[in-house]
């Protein structure tokens, strides 16, 4: 790939950053949810677990999705840059509570109430996405950068 192959991505970002931040956050969340759905479907398809298959697939997809969503939000949603690795670590700490709550909800829905795993995925996504939209910027993407942090960007 040539030097110019990445210019299109930066042009898209520049145009996207003209959209108000709250709308960018929602659009990135929707796009990430679509990618997450595909990730979940692939994991569910190849998951060898029989008891709790939906829940184990949901937890693995969620764990993968944290890094993906962190990167997407960092690149497309927020204009102030935080140190990538520190922000990702904070994201995993923040999302660990959401993963536990979502995993428990998914298990109860699919194993106790026998809700279809696709519907359970949507319900759990609704719960975790709501928490994310309310707290993501306040917890994960707010910190002053130091010289050391900037070297990690």
Residue that wins the pLDDT comparison between 122 and 146 = 122
pLDDT score of 145: 43
Closest CA to 61 of 121, 8, 105: 121
The mean pLDDT of the chain is: 84
Confidence at 37, pLDDT banded by 50, 70, 90: very high
Confidence at 147, pLDDT banded by 50, 70, 90: very low
| Coil, helix or strand at residue 70 | helix
Distance from C-alpha of 84 to C-alpha of 79, rounded to nearest angstrom: 13
For the whole model, what pTM was predicted?
Answer: 0.79
């Amino acid at each position: 790939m040539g030097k110019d192959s990445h210019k299109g991505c930066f042009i898209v970002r520049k145009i996207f950053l003209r959209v108000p931040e709250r709308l960018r956050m929602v659009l990135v969340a929707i796009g990430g949810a679509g990618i997450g759905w595909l990730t979940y479907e692939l994991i569910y398809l190849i998951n060898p677990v029989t008891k709790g298959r939906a829940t184990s697939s949901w937890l693995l997809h969620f764990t993968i999705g944290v890094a993906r969503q962190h990167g997407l939000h960092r690149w497309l949603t927020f204009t102030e840059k935080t140190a990538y690795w520190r922000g990702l670590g904070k994201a995993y700490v923040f999302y660990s509570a959401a993963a536990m709550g979502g995993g428990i909800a998914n298990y109860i829905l699919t194993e106790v109430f026998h809700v279809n795993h696709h519907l359970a995925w949507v319900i759990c996504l609704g719960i975790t996405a709501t928490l994310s939209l309310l707290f993501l910027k306040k917890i994960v993407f707010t910190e002053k950068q130091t010289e050391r942090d900037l070297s990690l960007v």
